[in-house]
Chain A
Amino acid sequence: MSGFFSPFITKPVSVSQIMLHVLLALIPGIALYVWFFGPAILVSLTLASITALGVEALMLKIQNKQIAPTLKDNTALLTAWLLALSIPPLAPWWLVVVGTAFAISISKHLYGGLGNNPFNPAMIGYAVLIISFPVHMTHWLTPHGLGDVSLSFLEQLNYIFQGVLPDGIKLDAITMATPLDTLKTQLHLNGHVQEILDMPIYGRLAGQGSEWVAAGFLLGGVYLIAQRIISWHIPLAYLGTLFAVAGLFHLIDPAHYVTPVFHLFSGAAMLGAFFILTDPVTSPTTPRGRLIFAASAALLTYLIRAFGGFPDGMAFATLLMNICVPLIDAYTQPKVFGKKKGQS
């Protein structure tokens, strides 16, 4: 007997299936990442995954909750992957571990576990890392063919775990600032957008290589929408608003504001639009609410990117908007059957 009450039949896609789809959808982006920046990212993904599962199990154990069903739901894995994708692949191993552990234990479990965390755990982890270890968070890998030297996988591992670089190679030679970061610095040095974009690290749309990774995430996101795992509201509103705002500034002053397309394809915009903002637990549930939420997040992202102190605003925009979710939900409740306008 299936429980005692109707409905006696269910045909759910389980939480773990949903999360699995999301993980799958990340794969094109990750593959392109490996292609352009080498396999170091796989190391941090693995590290983050192991840490996430371990910490999740530990937290469940401490709270005397059933471990198996929650561990199998893949949500911890997703958090781990999103976090790993937001930090530099060459970051020391403990950075990944600390970030993930913080994300799972503090920002997920201390708030009540799955379904109860007001903030996106991965973004909390990211925020903690970028505030506590700002230097380590800037060691982004140079895409293949750009730097003077490149490390073999073994040498990368050696650096990640022991902090040792091969003789004669300086850290600066293999890492660089992100395209957004460079843009910001250069603009501060009174560069002209056009000149800056002629620098070798920029590709056709945005950063060399990273533009392709963003395209990979876009592909995965479209897959998620097609599979009806996420609704179109958040990605569309986010990307649309970002495009519109960036476009406006670009039109006004092309010398100081890059093209909207550049914004869409750099930083965490694509990843955020499809994978981070759409985290169901920390986003609004009403369609109207989702539009407001994503549009505001895009606005914040742009403001932080263009005028704030951090090169990318995705994480902070997400966290700021997470706070507003209950409010947005409360004020955007849709009218119910038979109680719409024009009805009695």
Chain B
Amino acid sequence: MRELALHILDILQNAVEAGATRVALVIVEDVPTDRLVITVRDNGRGMDAQTLAQVTQPFFTSRTTRHVGLGLPLFAAAAERADGQLTIRSQPGVGTTVDVTFTLSHPDRQPLGDMTGTLLAFLLSERTPQLDYQHRVVREGASSVEETDFSFDTADISAALAGLPLTHPAVAQWLAEFLAEGEAELTHVA
């Protein structure tokens, strides 16, 4: 996949498929430490130790419709190419946390890409878990570090909608604009 936002969408889909009702996505672009960290935490069914051990190996999958699992190994490979790594912690019945790190300035790091599209594709899923999203950019200012961030919790959005679905055309359009605006406010590094 050509951008990290596509890998993120894929990991978010894993959480949906694991039956998560809550997902937290945190992206931190930290210039002073030259790190990019992406964390996806869900409260889905989780994995036992045996599954966890196999899951970053290519072609492992628990699905029965298709016998190839690629999402996690592809993301891990993207991280390793940029001097980073992918780590998964998981507990059956509790949930799963996927942490992916990169060297921000690494020439082989893929761009973050279209986060608006990724968030929109996720929020329009048939079963959308509650999403707590935070995207922070930390950079060196004139005298101290400066931080900008875009964050939202879909609980606030759902409350404002009072039962109207996210997929309603007028709502989807509002969402697309809201996400594009929020992401544009960040002075991106990645």
Partners in one complex: no
